[in-house]
Structure 1
C-alpha cells in the first residue's frame, strides 16, 4: 500500500497553529513511508471562504516548507463530480429528495426536545416499503438527504484514540445537497477521500463526530475506508482552547515576529508527539522517527517561552551570513556605510536573542550614532579615567587589530593607570555604543574597527 495523506483546510481564516500541526503530521507520515501528501482546499462555504484566506494557507505552508505532492485541489472546481455522485446515490436508493422546509425541520426538532428526545430529522420524506410519501410542494426545491443506516454501529480503530463506536441511531439523515444543488461538507470530504485514494486521514479531534457520517457515505459508495487518526487539540497556557487571546495564533504572525520556520516546525512536532527526551531535531530526523504510535491522547499545551527557547537554539546555530540576509531588512534605520560586517556583528550578538527582531535590535548598536545619556557620562567619564581613555585611543594606532591583542592592551592600560576593569570598560561602552551593556568590550572594539574607535573616543574626550 502506498500511503496517501491529505491536509484539507477550510479557507475561512488564517492558517492557525492547530492546522499547521495537522499539516506537519500528515506531511511527515507520508514522507516517513515514501508516500504522497495532498493539499485540498475545502472551499464550499461560500459565505466565509475568501481568496485572501486561501492565500494565507498557501503562504503558511510555503513558509513552513510543507510541500505538497498533489494539489492544491479546490472543492468548488469539483462540483460536477459531486453532482454525479449525488445522482448515483439517488439512483441506487442511498439518498432521497426531502421537501421539508427549514421551519418544518426546526418545529420537528423542537417537539423532540420537549419530549426529551435527541433532536433529529424524523425521516418524513425517506422512502420505505409500503410508505406513502407526502404530496410534493409545488413551490419548493428539495434538499438531498443521505439514507443513514437505521440500526447497527460504526466502529473504527482510531490511530490516536483507539477504538471508537457510535450508534447509527445517534445520527439522522444528513443533507448532502442543498436546494440549489451545492453539496455539503461531509459529503464532499467522503467523495474526495475516495477519489483521491486517501489511505490515512490525520486531523483534529473536532472531526471525530464527522467520521461515522463519512464512513457511512464511503460504504454507500463502495469505497475503501481510510484509516483515521484524530489529534487532541492545542490549549493555551490557561488550559483553554488556543485562540486569539493567547497572542499570535496565525502561522504567518510568526515570521513577522522574527521566528524561523525550522524552529516552528520543531516546536509544533513536539506538541503531542515525542521521541524519547529529544527536544531539538531536524526535519530529516523527525521524518525518520515519526509514527502515530507516540502521539499523546491528551491535549497539548502551547508554551510561548518554550517556542522562544527553540527559536533561540536555531538562531544560534544558523550561519551568520544567512542570518544577515534575514535580519538586514529589519534594521530600517541602520547606517551601514563604513560599519562592521553585518554577519560578524550578528555572530557576536545572536547568542541571547530569541527572535530575529531581537537580533536586529541588539545589532543596531554597531549601525547608529551613539547617544549616551548625559548623566551616565558624568558618572563614568570621570577625570580619573580620561587619561586612560586618551592613552587607549593613542595605542589603537599601532596595536594589532585582533580581539586578543586588544584585550592585552586593555589590561596594560588598566595596570598603568591603577584602574579596575569596570572603570575603563563602562566609559568605553558609552562612547562607542551609547549604552552600558554590550558583549565583551574587546570583541566590540575589534568589530568597530580601528579608525571608528579612535574617532569616537577622541570626540568623547573633547
Structure 2
C-alpha cells in the first residue's frame, strides 16, 4: 500500500516552501488510496515549540488536509538508539571527536590542495586509549555513518536517473556531541518502520537521500521511491529563504488569501501543466502528476495568489459570506443584493468594507478641479434616496440634457463623485444600494 509522510520541524511557522512537499506527498497517498502520515520532527528539543506543532496542524487543516495518523520523533528516541547500537555492532557507525573549528580547518586545507572537502575518517585510526583521553578532554563525541565507497543510484520521480559517488561525500553525522539524534538517522528509522513507499522533498536533499539509501539498506529496510522537487525562488530569481517570514501560511491566511488559491497554485507551479483554480482539495489531488514537474528553480510571486483569491471569493454563494456582510452593518434587506454587486470587485473579503462606505456616504469623492462645477450642478439634479436601478440612467440623461456633456466626460466624473473610484460595479447597481445622497 502506498504510504507517504510530511515531516515538518516545529521550529517555526509552516511556510509556503514547506507546502510543496506536504501537497505532493498528500496527493500521492490520496490518489492511490494509501496512508498519509503527519510526522513531527521534534528531536531538536531546544528549538521545537508546541505552539509551532499546533500551528502546523492548524495551517494544514485550514488548507483542507487530513492525515491518517500523527507521529512525533520525540516519542521514538528508543527506536533511534536501538538503530544506533545496531549500526555500531555492524561497524557502520563510528565515534568522532573533532570540534567544529578543527573540521573547518580540515575543509579549508583540502580546498587549498584542490581536493573535495570530504571528512578524512581520521577517527577510525584512533586507539581505545586515544578515544578515552579525548572523551575526558572534550566531554562528548559525535557519531558518523561509514559509507560504502560505491555509486549510489536511483530513479528520481522528478529529476530522473541519479548517480552519486559515495566517496565524494563526507560520512554523515547521525548523532551530535550533545546526544541529539539528527534527521538523517531518525528519518531513516521512521521511513523504514512506518513502511514509507514514496518520499517527495526538496532538491536540497539529493545528497542526503544518497546517504540515507545506504543507511536504509544497512538497517534492512526497503528503499522508498524518491522524488525531489525544485526549490522556490522569488519572482526575480532571488532566494526565497530570506522572505519566508512573510510567507508563513498563517500570515497569508490573516491577509485574506484563500486556501484553494494556495493549493491550486502550488499543485501546478513548476510543472508543465497550467495553473487551474480548483473547487476543493480533492480536485487538486485528482489533477496532480508528480512526473510533470521540472528540476529548474521555480519562481514564486505571492502576488499571483491575489487574482486566484479574487476568483474564489467571487464564486462564493451569499450564505457563506452572510456573517461577514452582517458584520459591516449591512441591513438584512439589502445584504444579499450588496454581495451580488461587490463580489466581482473585491480581492479579499475585507475589501467589502470600503464598498459599504461608498453606499453609506463615508467614502471620499474623487473630483478633479475642472469637474467641480459640473459635478455640483449634477448633484443638485439628483433627488434623495431611495434610488433604483433606473436612477443612474435617468439622472445622467437629465444631466446630459442640461450640461451638454456626454460619453466619458459625463459618466467618469459622476462615477468618481459617487464612488471615489474610476472603476467598479455597474453604476445602476451602485445607485440602487446608495443609502444616502452623494455629497462632495
* Structure 1 SS opposite 2:132: coil
Pair 1:313–1:101, CA change in 2 (3 A): closer
Q: Is the 8 A contact 1:345 1:366 kept in 2?
A: no
Q: Which residue of 1 aligns with 2:431?
A: 445
Shift of 1:114: 4.2
After TM superposition, the structure 1 = structure 2 runs for residues 45-444 of structure 1, keeping only pairs within 5 Å, are 45-71=44-70, 73-102=71-100, 104-126=102-124, 135-138=130-133, 139=136, 140-149=139-148, 151-245=149-243, 248-275=246-273, 277=274, 279-282=276-279, 283-326=281-324, 334=328, 336=329, 338=331, 341-367=334-360, 369=362, 372=365, 378-383=372-377, 386=380, 388-390=381-383, 393=384, 403=389, 405-406=390-391, 409-410=394-395, 439-444=425-430
* Distance of 1:215 and 1:33 partners within structure 2: 24
Query: After the TM superposition, which of the residue ranges 173-182 and 97-106 deviates more from structure 2?
Result: 97-106
After superposition, the CA RMSD in angstroms is: 3.4
Shift of 1:31: 1.1
Q: Is the 8 A contact 1:369 1:433 kept in 2?
A: no
* Structure 1 SS opposite 2:310: helix
* Structure 1 SS opposite 2:23: helix
Q: Is the 8 A contact 2:142 2:176 kept in 1?
A: yes
* Distance of 1:412 and 1:115 partners within structure 2: 87
Q: Is the 8 A contact 2:10 2:40 kept in 1?
A: yes
Pair 1:20–1:363, CA change in 2 (3 A): farther
Q: Which residue of 2 aligns with 1:37?
A: 36
* Distance of 1:10 and 1:348 partners within structure 2: 45
* Distance of 2:376 and 2:127 partners within structure 1: 104
Pair 1:191–1:113, CA change in 2 (3 A): same
Shift of 1:210: 0.4
Q: Is the 8 A contact 1:22 1:202 kept in 2?
A: yes
* Structure 2 SS opposite 1:341: helix
Q: Is the 8 A contact 1:346 1:363 kept in 2?
A: no
Pair 1:145–1:432, CA change in 2 (3 A): closer
* Distance of 1:142 and 1:374 partners within structure 2: 75
Q: Which residue of 2 aligns with 1:26?
A: 25
Query: After the TM superposition, which of the residue ranges 376-385 and 196-205 deviates more from structure 2?
Result: 376-385
* Distance of 2:101 and 2:204 partners within structure 1: 28
Q: Is the 8 A contact 1:112 1:119 kept in 2?
A: yes
Pair 1:278–1:406, CA change in 2 (3 A): same
Q: TM-score, normalised by structure 2?
A: 0.85
Pair 1:435–1:97, CA change in 2 (3 A): closer
Deviations 1:110-156 (A, max 9, x none): 543443332333323438xxx9655332414333322221x211101
Q: Is the 8 A contact 1:385 1:424 kept in 2?
A: no
Shift of 1:162: 0.6
Q: Which runs of 5+ in 1 are unaligned?
A: none
Tell which structure's C-alpha radius of gyration is larger.
1
Query: After the TM superposition, which of the residue ranges 375-384 and 56-65 deviates more from structure 2?
Result: 375-384
* Distance of 2:337 and 2:309 partners within structure 1: 20
